[in-house]
Amino acid sequence: MADKTLKLEVITPEDVTLRAESTSVVVPGVDGELGIWPNHAPLLAGLKPGVISYKTASGTEKLVVSGGFIEVSNNVISIIAPAAEKSTDIDFARAEAAKKRALERLAQKENIDMARAQAALARANARLSVR
């Protein structure tokens, strides 16, 4: 079974958010979604805020990341992210409020940090997409 699974770990500055055995993983690459299966070629890529979807023996699971990097080598997937949340840990009311604040900031178009507001909106949308 070793050559039919991948070891997946997601690391944030606070801790190791996830360690799992998976049969496939889909991540939000900066240039589009990336699908990773066992025996995948070595890979190093950037991630944008979004949802990591991975299949385990118990079904498909989801994790939201706020960007970061992925490395794939020898059936091990290491994801380094500034933040990651399991879908079961997300406060959707808080995510809705964050989205509303980001949209209000973006509508002002003056005296705001556009990149920061756009990043906040991307994070909120990623959280809300796993409902």
| Each residue's pLDDT tens digit, 59-92 | 999 999 999 999 999 999 999 999 999 888 888 9
Domain count, the chain: 2
* Position 1 pLDDT exceeds 80: no
Q: 58 and 103: one domain?
A: no
Name the pLDDT band for 3 (thresholds 50, 70, 90): low
- Rg of the chain over Cα atoms, rounded to whole angstroms, equals 16
Q: What is the rounded CA–CA span in Å between residue 97 and residue 21?
A: 34
Domain that holds residue 103: 91-128
Task: List residues bridging with 34 in a β-sheet.
Answer: 27
Q: 60 and 116: one domain?
A: no
Average pLDDT over residues 14-39: 95
What one-letter code names the amino acid at 89?
D
Specify the DSSP element, H or E, that contains 106.
helix 92-108
Q: 82 and 95: one domain?
A: no
Q: 32 and 72: one domain?
A: yes
Closest CA to 32 of 46, 15, 14: 46
Q: 8 and 55: one domain?
A: yes
The structure tokens listed for 81 are 């992210």
Question: Tokens 């992210």 sit at which residue?
Answer: 81
Q: 102 and 121: one domain?
A: yes
Task: List residues bridging with 6 in a β-sheet.
Answer: 22
Average pLDDT over residues 22-50: 96
Q: 37 and 68: one domain?
A: yes
| Model confidence pLDDT, tens digit, residues 89-128 | 888 999 989 999 989 888 887 788 888 888 888 888 888 8
To the nearest 10°, report the CA torsion of 41, 32, 104, 13: 0
Q: 44 and 57: one domain?
A: yes
Indicate which CATH number applies to the domain containing 76. 2.60.15.10
Name which residue leads in pLDDT, 89 or 43. Answer: 43
Model confidence pTM above 0.85? no
